[in-house]
Amino acid sequence: MPLQRSNTADKFIVDRRKPHRNSDVARAVRKTRDRLSQQAGNPDFDRELLNLHARAMTSGAVAIPLLVLAIAAAGRLAGVGNEIGLWALFTLTCYTIVAFMARRIERTEASELNPLQTRREFLVGHFLCGLGWAWFVLLGCAACEVDQFQVVKAVVMLLAMAGTALMASSLSGTLLVTFAVPVALYAYVGTRLWMPVEAIMAGLLVVSLPFFAYVARQLNRSSLMLLSFRSEKDALIAELETAKSMSDEARRRAEDANLAKSRFLASMSHELRTPLNAILGFSEVMANEVLGPMSNPTYRDYAHDVHDSGQHLLDLINEILDLSRIEAGRYQLNEEPVMLLNIVEDCCHMMELRARNKDIRVIQDFEQTLPRLFADERAVRQIALNLLSNAIKFTATGGEIRVRVGWTAGGGQYISIKDNGPGIPEDEIPIVLSAFGQGSIAIKSAEQGTGLGLPIVQGLLAMHGGEFELHSKLREGTEAIAIFPLSRVMEELPALPTAAVAARRR
């Protein structure tokens, strides 16, 4: 069935028509698939176990050959003869073949391994090593001065079995393939001689072989468990990488959409404001009857409605443009020393008429000894006006608004506007602080806004390095706090001494 492609690029996070944007996602998915196929292969993790076995044989390639060399040297000193040298040469050759085989497999990509063939090659190599140990069992020493030579060979066999069980545990069956023939041969020789010590050592070897096989099997199970955990961990990491790539793709697309929105709003600002200015100007001329009286008073009312609607639309456009410039980082601050008290006081006077129309009392609680702030006066005024406008809008008739300006605990300055309105539910505060977000009370209110006032306040404060806090309880009121940091506070310089003070000092 052919793959169905979507015609809308915005329907999915991953757009199939843009492979250059999907490179991270494709790379993460491909890496995950390769990793899982290379490590798992089948439920027994055969490829990874073969790699572990090859790594173990490579790292421990010196251990058993050193044991063989030590036995050969000791045998020569004890007078075994040249046969032990030939045995050592054959055994070292077998272990060298296994080591080179392990090095080759270790350098081969796991996905290119043939598990059955590689396992068969390893078992054949270990079987050849076992033939070397079988030769060791058959070694005799008539001229040796060593008592209990068969006991010494049994001890050496036990050491070799223990080392092989530890190193070759990743490949199941290695211990039995290597030492089944030597142990059986030793048991046969011991029973033929029928000496008590040799019989005991033969029995010990026969018992030790399944014991070491059990230990190797337990180590193999531990390796399987670790591989399973690592596979799950890698799968989880791959999922996280894929999710991160998808989130990066979504973020890039959101940034592109936001940039397109900002460019659109910037290009449309002139086209929208030009006709609005004409509408506002002509409607004001008509409403005020500048060019002559209107015979029909309804037309005058219509002119007032047109002017009010145009002014509302212009305010909305200005708010959207301000927010888009803040989000795009294009809002330019005209920073200068300003008095926060004077700005907030002017804003209270500007909003006094609206508050008086709703019989709302505005209480001013200002600290009078505040130094100047280094800030943008227009931005500070917009912050205060937006907060006051929201407080008046959602405070019931006969309510009260308390406006405070003062020091913060960290040495900065703050504006606090607290009302006794209906408040905001706690779960709706993030909605209110988002662009175009409105709470349930604002939606039911007769004075619905655009939901841009508080996001603009947050953006302007962030540009000044400040913070915005909104505390509210249902049916108790809301408090909005705009905080300017200590770095914005300008220290007052000491007054210059006057001529009289200077003369007094002299």
The pLDDT > 70 percentage for the chain reads 80
**Better-predicted residue by pLDDT, 150 or 7:** 150
Round to whole Å and give the CA distance between 20 and 226. Answer: 37
pLDDT tens readout for residues 471-487: 888 888 899 999 999 99
Q: Is the pLDDT of residue 415 over 90?
A: yes
**Mean pLDDT, residues 43-53:** 75
Name the pLDDT band for 194 (thresholds 50, 70, 90). Answer: low
Round to whole Å and give the CA distance between 497 and 198. Answer: 115
The region, left, alpha or beta by phi > 0 then psi within -120 to 50, assigned to residue 79 is left
Q: Minimal CA–CA distance to 406: which of 461, 346, 364, 366? A: 366
Q: Minimal CA–CA distance to 157: which of 142, 135, 172? A: 135
pTM: 0.46
Contact 21, 252 (CB under 8 A): yes
What pLDDT is stored for residue 414 in this prediction? 92
In what side-by-side order are the strands of the sheet with 413-419?
A: 361-366, 400-407, 413-419, 477-484, 467-473
Q: DSSP states of 159-188 as a string?
A: HHHHHHHHHTTTSTTHHHHHHHHHHHHHHH
CB atoms within 10 A of CB 221: 12
What pLDDT is stored for residue 193 in this prediction? 61
What pLDDT is stored for residue 481 in this prediction? 92
To the nearest whole number, what is the mean pLDDT of the chain?
Answer: 78
**Mean pLDDT, residues 185-191:** 80
What pLDDT is stored for residue 29 in this prediction? 56
Name the pLDDT band for 459 (thresholds 50, 70, 90). Answer: confident
Round to whole Å and give the CA distance between 82 and 486. Answer: 92
Name the pLDDT band for 266 (thresholds 50, 70, 90). Answer: low
Q: Is the pLDDT of residue 20 over 80?
A: no
What pLDDT is stored for residue 321 in this prediction? 72
**Better-predicted residue by pLDDT, 413 or 145:** 413
**Mean pLDDT, residues 337-361:** 88
**Better-predicted residue by pLDDT, 35 or 407:** 407
What pLDDT is stored for residue 190 in this prediction? 72
Name the pLDDT band for 404 (thresholds 50, 70, 90). Answer: very high
pLDDT tens readout for residues 437-457: 666 665 555 455 566 778 888
**Mean pLDDT, residues 185-213:** 80
What pLDDT is stored for residue 405 in this prediction? 93
Tell me the residue type at 227: L
Name the pLDDT band for 14 (thresholds 50, 70, 90). Answer: very low
Name the pLDDT band for 21 (thresholds 50, 70, 90). Answer: very low
